[in-house]
Amino acid sequence: MVSQLLVVGINGSPHVRGNTAFLLRQALEECKKLGAVTKLINCQQILKDQKNPFCMACASPCPGKCFKGKELSTAFELISKTDGLLLGSPVYFGTVSAQLKAFWDKGRSLRGEKKLLNVVGGALAVGASRFGGQETTIRAIHDMLLIQGMITVGDGYYQDDCGHMGGAAQRPAEGDDNAINRCRILGKRIFEVADATRKLRVR
C-alpha cells in the first residue's frame, strides 16, 4: 500500500493569520484534496523558545544543540519526513522576512544530514503592491531550497500555470483572486511532482 504524501507549509510571516498564512492554506488545501496529509508551521511561534533566534554557526557540522528539546527540533523532525515543502513570506525590503531566514538558517543540520534532498519545494510571497518585490523574495526562497538539494517547482502547463516562479500576491491576499488561484495551482504542482518523485527520497 502506498503511503500518503506529507506536504508542509512554512509561514515566514510574523502574523500567524495574515496574508501569507492565508495563501499557504489555499495551497495546502489543494494538496489535501489530492490525498496528502498537510501541516502548517509558523516560524514566529516556533522561534519563541530559542535563547537566540539567529544561527551563530557555533560548530561545523552543526550539532543542533541550540534547538534540542525545543519547538524547532519538533518542526525539523516534521519537515525531515515531508515529501513537499511550501515556503511563504511577506516581502521585507525586497527579500524574505527575518523570521523565515532565522528558521531556515537554523536548519544547517538538515543540510548536513541531507534530510531535504529531493523533497519538492515551492515558494509564494506577498507584497504591499502589485510589483512590490515578490519575485526577488521568491528567488531568495528558491536559493534556500536549492542549497538543501530540493526539487523546485515553478511554471506549469497553460491550464496549470502557477506563475513563472511561484505564487505572487498583493495584500490583502483575500482580495487577490489571481494569486489565490495560482497558489492553489502551486499546491497541486507540488503534490504532483512529489508523487512522481517518491523513489528519489531515501528515508
CA 190/CA 56 separation, integer angstroms: 32
Dihedral sign (CA 46, 177, 188, 165): negative
Q: How many CB atoms lie within 10 A of CB 162?
A: 25
Give pLDDT, residue 130: 87
pLDDT tens digit sequence for 142-170:
999 999 999 999 765 656 655 666 888 99
Give pLDDT, residue 164: 63
Give pLDDT, residue 159: 65
Give pLDDT, residue 3: 84
pTM for the full predicted model? 0.93
Give pLDDT, residue 154: 78
Give pLDDT, residue 148: 96
CA 161/CA 64 separation, integer angstroms: 39
User: Tell me, what amino acid is at 6?
Assistant: L
CA 25/CA 170 separation, integer angstroms: 16
Q: Where are the beta strands (DSSP E) in the chain?
A: 6-11, 37-42, 84-90, 120-127, 151-152, 167-170
**Which residue has cell 536548519?**
107
Give pLDDT, residue 166: 81
For 9-198, CATH gives 3.40.50.360
Q: Where are the beta strands (DSSP E) in 33-166?
A: 37-42, 84-90, 120-127, 151-152
What are the sequence ranges of the domains in the chain? 9-198
Give pLDDT, residue 153: 93
Give pLDDT, residue 158: 57
CA dihedral 88, 122, 131, 185 (to 10 degrees): -110
Give pLDDT, residue 181: 92
Dihedral sign (CA 60, 64, 81, 95): negative
In this prediction, the residues of the chain whose per-residue pLDDT falls under 70 are 1-2, 155-165
